[in-house]
A and B are shown apart, each in its own frame.
Chain A
Amino acid sequence: QKEVEQDPGPLSVPEGAIVSLNCTYSNSAFQYFMWYRQYSRKGPELLMYTYSSGNKEDGRFTAQVDKSSKYISLFIRDSQPSDSATYLCAMSGVGGSYIPTFGRGTSLIVHP
């Protein structure tokens, strides 16, 4: 079993839909939880990060962390075709070099 599990999709939704992307993990030492967006043939860019449990909102994006279930989510409201990309979750512990462990990414397609 991988440390971080993420369904690769693809996930296809109509424009305006609410999108839910999820990851599960097994390492209870993880404290930082990140979501990256990666467009085709580009490097990942950080969308949001959360420390420990809880919710964080930024515009149309909401990140949730449930450490008791070892489950994290990213919600996208009013999805747009420009949101079409691969979304990678990543997480790291505290201390050391903070090197994140990445999920394999979920491919999202938002069609007009």
Chain B
Amino acid sequence: GAGVSQSPSNKVTEKGKDVELRCDPISGHTALYWYRQRLGQGLEFLIYFQGNSAPDKSGLPSDRFSAERTGESVSTLTIQRTQQEDSAVYLCASTLMSSSYNEQFFGPGTRLTVL
């Protein structure tokens, strides 16, 4: 079956604009995670969903960042009033469930550049 998909693959925006990033998880995966990866850095956890609720939002850097998920399907990560330090690759991953260890499957990421 299809893997995790993300769109757009690349996004260039001007400082101060809002952007919306989309993630389509693997069908049947109830847990979905968003990460940020700055150049040369590891993955920084942002938020995760179990179903359409977000038990852990602790990684969101500021109130400019928000995310939502529709049922056990698509999720969108929204960054308002983008800043240059938001430039990074935003990765989404999904897994069967979050209540035990399960392999996380990653999408290819969205490369965001804020000018």
Contact = CB atoms under 8 A, between A and B. Distances in A.
Interface residues of A, number: 25
A28 B56 CA distance: 22
Contacts of A51: 101
Interface string B90-109: 01010000101111101111
Contacts of B106: 43-45
Number of chain B interface residues as a range = 20 to 34
Contact of A43 (B31, B40, B101, B107): B107
A43 B90 CA distance: 10
A98 B91 contact: no
A49 interface: yes
A60 interface: no
B98 A4 contact: no
A97 B42 contact: no
B45 A43 contact: no
- A-side binding surface: helix, strand, loop or mixed? loop
A98 B98 contact: yes
B33 A43 contact: no
A90 B102 CA distance: 13
Contact of B42 (A32, A45, A98, A102): A102
B1 interface: no
Nearest to B9: A41
B33 A99 contact: yes
Nearest to B47: A99
A92 B103 contact: no
B4 interface: yes
Interface of B: 4, 31, 33, 35, 40-45, 48, 50, 55-56, 91, 93, 98, 100-104, 106-109, 111
Interface of A: 4, 6, 8, 32, 41-46, 49, 51, 88, 90, 92, 94, 97-105
26 contacts: A8-B40, A32-B101, A41-B108, A41-B109, A41-B111, A43-B4, A43-B91, A43-B93, A43-B106, A43-B107, A43-B108, A45-B106, A49-B101, A94-B101, A97-B31, A97-B48, A97-B50, A97-B56, A97-B98, A98-B101, A99-B33, A99-B56, A102-B35, A102-B43, A104-B40, A104-B42
